[in-house]
Amino acid sequence: MGMTIVGEKFQNNEYFLPELIMAGEVMHEAMEVVKPHVRSEDVIPTNKIVLGTIRGDLHDIGKNIVAMLLTAAGFEVIDLGVDVPAEEFVEAVRKNTARLVGMSALLTVTIPEMGTVIKQLDESGLRTQLKIIIGGAAATPEYAGSIGADYAAKDAVEGVNKCKLWSK
């Protein structure tokens, strides 16, 4: 609930990136305190998402914010980290039976890897059961359409809202 308010304030330009990052860090720390006291069967994630920064790109601030907001929204986030090759995305989707994939790229020179990931998901037979969202400075709606992604989010809050809509 609190992170939802923070996200709304960010979208309304009442909070800015530093406040969003700080709120995410506080939420992460609070979750570490609470986690041992919550039985895993009490928490039922609404959906699983495989999330990562594509091969060749080491930027993860945006991805980490998205991961924190998705976790707060009840998603099980399988965070692959940075510089993730297409094969790791495919394997993580298969292993975790995820229905959502999120890819991040800041650098325009690395963005073609997003298309490679989608192509390998298609070749593996997994693409038809997935919704794919892309984000980062290099990701545009036009590019999303050209590679077969379902959506390009302009920011973390918009991306999380789209994932929540897909998981209903």
- How far apart are alpha carbons 25 and 20 in whole angstroms? 9
* Residues 101 and 93 sit within 8 Å (Cβ to Cβ): yes
pLDDT of residue 76: 92
Q: Which residue is it, tokens 């699983």? A: 48
Region of 119 (left: φ > 0; alpha: ψ -120 to 50; beta: rest) is alpha
- How far apart are alpha carbons 93 and 87 in whole angstroms? 10
- pLDDT band per the 50, 70, 90 thresholds, residue 20: confident
Share of the chain above pLDDT 90, in %: 57
Per residue in 112-136, pLDDT (tens digit) is 999 999 999 999 999 999 999 999 8
**CATH superfamily membership of 45-166:** Cobalamin-binding domain (3.40.50.280)
* Residues 1 and 30 sit within 8 Å (Cβ to Cβ): no
Rounded to the nearest 10 degrees, the angle between the axes of helix 61-72 and helix 2-11 is: 130
Beta strands in 20-148 (DSSP E): 48-53, 76-79, 100-104, 131-135
- pLDDT band per the 50, 70, 90 thresholds, residue 11: confident
Per residue in 91-110, pLDDT (tens digit) is 999 999 999 999 999 888 99
